[in-house]
Amino acid sequence: MGFEAGFAGGAVVFLWMVFSVFAFCSIANAAPYPTRLVVSKDGTGDYSNIQDAINNCKSFPDQRITILVEPGVYEEKIVVNSWNTRISLIGIDADRTVIRWSDAAEGRKNGTFWSYTMLVQANDFRAENLTIENAAGSGPGIGQAVALHVESDRVVIDACRLIADQDTLYAAGENSRQLYRNCYIEGTTDFIFGEGTAVFENCQIHCKTASFITAASTAEGVRFGYVFLDCKLSFAQGVDNVYLGRPWRPFAKTVFVRCDLGNGIHPEGWSRWGYKYAETHYAEFECTGAGADRSERVDWSFELSEDEAKLYTKDHVFNNGLQDPVPLRDWYKD
């Protein structure tokens, strides 16, 4: 064998070895389960409804699973179970990708907690570009009707529309951290409620009746409840005297920072809801609009100082909202 032939043969063997190493690494790094699924009502995707896609995801995956939802109205009552971690549910845009159900408390025992359109029990869940709606409406015999019920940790809801009447969003879970970013949330009474630590960033909060926006039930010892950052409040025509919040439990915490409160807020701002001696933490900082006038606010709410306001960032809230926080791992960042 000549030098040229030997060299060429050796080069082929070397390249094959390199290719084999890269192929092995690619196989090793590839998830042994689908990480991208498509839901389409016309049957062109992997599934025609969202719940089937979720049910067929790997339990406790070590890689994120993305479920792309094509435009359409999906009449479903959805549960993201605790073992369906690391799921991203992504629509094309919120106006055209709608998840809708009609259920309500209807006098049932604990009926509020069964009325959801979507229930999220899994950690590291993300939703983007979706409308999640409870279309039960309001009136006698209906009561609470939850659109989105979240009780897990490290949840991001981005550019979504949450639509219902009473109790639209149940941001629950004593050890839960949730981020709502660039969302539109509308309702009537207590339509953002629960015990979770939740940050609302650049959201529009739309009030359909003269009632209460929030009903936090922050647990004793949890440092942060609901934090609204740079949000805008809007009001249906003729609606005024809306309260920023009232405590569902005695240690409720709700803070509005640099928010446009519009012109529909009750001068008192906050209500005790019967908790005369409740250790609530209700505050505002550098809010604007006619509703930000604090001259007639209840004396147990307050304006944050400059130093106190510095604590109300996502980094600080999500690091210190729990006594023993899980490492952040940039879960809430783009």
The answer to whether the CB of 161 falls within 8 A of the CB of 131 is: yes
Q: What is the pTM of this model?
A: 0.88
**DSSP secondary structure of 9-63:** HHHHHHHHHHHHHHHHHHHHHS-SS--EEEE-TTS-SSBSSHHHHHHTSPSS-SS
Radius of gyration of the chain, Cα coordinates, nearest whole angstrom: 24
- The rounded distance, in Å, linking the Cα atoms of 239 and 193 is 21
- The rounded distance, in Å, linking the Cα atoms of 187 and 227 is 18
- The rounded distance, in Å, linking the Cα atoms of 189 and 242 is 10
**Residue 238's closest CA among 259, 198, 271, 210?**
210
- The rounded distance, in Å, linking the Cα atoms of 105 and 143 is 6
SS3 258: coil
Q: What is the pLDDT of residue 284?
A: 98
165 is catalytic: no
- The rounded distance, in Å, linking the Cα atoms of 59 and 66 is 14
**Residue 315's closest CA among 323, 327, 307, 306?**
327
CB proximity list for 304: less than 8 A, separation 6 or greater: 255, 257, 283, 284, 285, 312
Q: What is the pLDDT of residue 30?
A: 66
Q: What is the pLDDT of residue 277?
A: 63
Q: What is the pLDDT of residue 14?
A: 43
Q: What is the pLDDT of residue 326?
A: 56
Q: How is residue 262 written in tokens?
A: 């519009």
Q: How is residue 307 written in tokens?
A: 């130093």
- The rounded distance, in Å, linking the Cα atoms of 187 and 211 is 10
CB proximity list for 283: less than 8 A, separation 6 or greater: 255, 256, 301, 302, 303, 304, 308
- The rounded distance, in Å, linking the Cα atoms of 19 and 23 is 6
Superfamily grouping for domain 67-320: Single-stranded right-handed beta-helix, Pectin lyase-like (2.160.20.10)
Q: How is residue 265 written in tokens?
A: 């807020």
The answer to whether the CB of 108 falls within 8 A of the CB of 93 is: no
- The rounded distance, in Å, linking the Cα atoms of 326 and 328 is 6
Residue among 190, 260, 324, 334 flagged as catalytic: 190
Q: What is the pLDDT of residue 22?
A: 40
Question: What are the pLDDT tens digits along the chain (334 aa)?
Answer: 443 444 344 443 443 344 343 433 443 446 789 999 999 999 999 999 999 999 999 999 999 999 999 999 999 999 999 999 999 999 999 999 999 999 998 878 898 999 999 999 999 999 999 999 999 988 777 889 999 999 999 999 999 999 999 999 999 998 899 999 999 999 999 999 999 999 999 999 999 999 999 999 999 999 999 999 999 999 999 999 999 999 999 999 999 999 999 999 999 999 988 877 678 999 999 999 999 999 999 999 999 999 999 999 998 899 865 545 555 567 787 6
